[in-house]
Copies of this chain bind each other. A is one copy, B any other.
Amino acid sequence: MNAFILETVRWRDGAVRILDQTRLPREEAYLELRTVDALIDAIRTLAVRGAPAIGVAGGLGVALSAAAFEGDDPARLCAHVDASAARIAAARPTAVNLRWACERTRGAARAAGPGEAGEIRARVLAEALAILEEDLALSASMARHGVALLPDEGRVITHCNTGGLATAGGGTALGVVLEACRRGKRLFVHVDETRPLLQGARLTAWELARAGIPFAVQCDGAAAWRMQTGAVDAVLVGADRIAANGDTANKVGTLGLALAAQAYGVPFYVVAPRSSFDLTLADGEAIPIEERDSSEITEWQGVTWCPPGTPAWNPAFDVTPARLIRGWVTELGVERPPFPPAGKSKG
């Protein structure tokens, strides 16, 4: 295993083992999740986060529910798996990968036919592990396609965390940067801190420092000024859901970043696996946007800075219209809408 590949989500001894991202960068601690409730809680609290990573975690969660089911009746096991898959899929509404992975693992149980419960459990787990392995391969493919978009020497801006921590261990947008540097490109990364939960300042900074790549964190509001005052060669972001026309839901702040990139002529790329595309949606209007608790904005780990009772509006995502996006880097290449159906991705 490549030393650069993080073990963000894994199946270990009958449990889902995740690197607890709420504790990074202070400590590299892992959670062993043995129940569906614990897994849902980890997804909701962002202990595991990033659209591909929560897809992988969701699939493994469905396997967990099959393994934990007491009884040998295949029909009741399948019904239990269906119910668990639905609960897990609802843990976060915006990223389509979660729903997709739950549906796929649930389908594997159904496809096992009226066999033994043991076989159903094995099939569900095999499907979940296949999603995990595929995700690692997808990261490698996206990185390969994306590297060609970057100069041999230059500056990029990235938002949120889209590295190994956002996937099974490779990365989407940051994965492209990591791979480019591994191949000898000399890139400087301007890291949006990404309010409110500071995934850039906490997680992307941690990944870049670990990889020895030069970077500086900046306030999200400073990105436009960065483009005005210095040559920025590209903006790379991930995605939580992409509609058929290319409208892209991603971490809040992405839209403003894309508007600034357009104003300064900086190419703006989305890097995401085909499992983040939701071709059932014509455009971004129909993408549900999760609103999270206002306390994520008004305080940090118990330290509050607002007057008591301050209301805050906390959409977790925004939708960037397709016209602001130069290209979508997927495992299939650098794509543009209309996107053909991908079938089962092979990485």
Contact = CB atoms under 8 A, between A and B. Distances in A.
B228 A318 contact: yes
Nearest to A193: B297
A259 B313 CA distance: 21
Contact of A305 (B198, B228, B263): B198
Interface in A170-225: 190, 192-196, 198, 201-202, 205-206, 209, 215-225
A336 interface: no
A208 to B, nearest CB: 9
B202 A306 contact: yes
Interface string A288-316: 00000010011011010111011111110
For the complex, would chain A's binding face be called helix, strand, loop or mixed by DSSP majority?
mixed
Interface stretch (A105-113, A114-122, A249-257, A338-346): A249-257
B253 A217 contact: no
A48 interface: no
A256 B264 CA distance: 11
B253 A221 contact: yes
A222 B313 contact: yes
Interface residues of A, number: 53
**Most chain B C-beta atoms within 10 Å of own C-beta, residue among A196, A202, A218, A301:** A218
A347 to B, nearest CB: 31
B310 A219 contact: no
A205 to B, nearest CB: 5
A256 B307 contact: no
Interface of A: 25, 190, 192-196, 198, 201-202, 205-206, 209, 215-226, 228, 252-257, 259-260, 263, 294, 297-298, 300-301, 303, 305-307, 309-315, 318-319
7 contacts: A201-B305, A201-B306, A221-B253, A221-B257, A224-B318, A256-B257, A301-B303
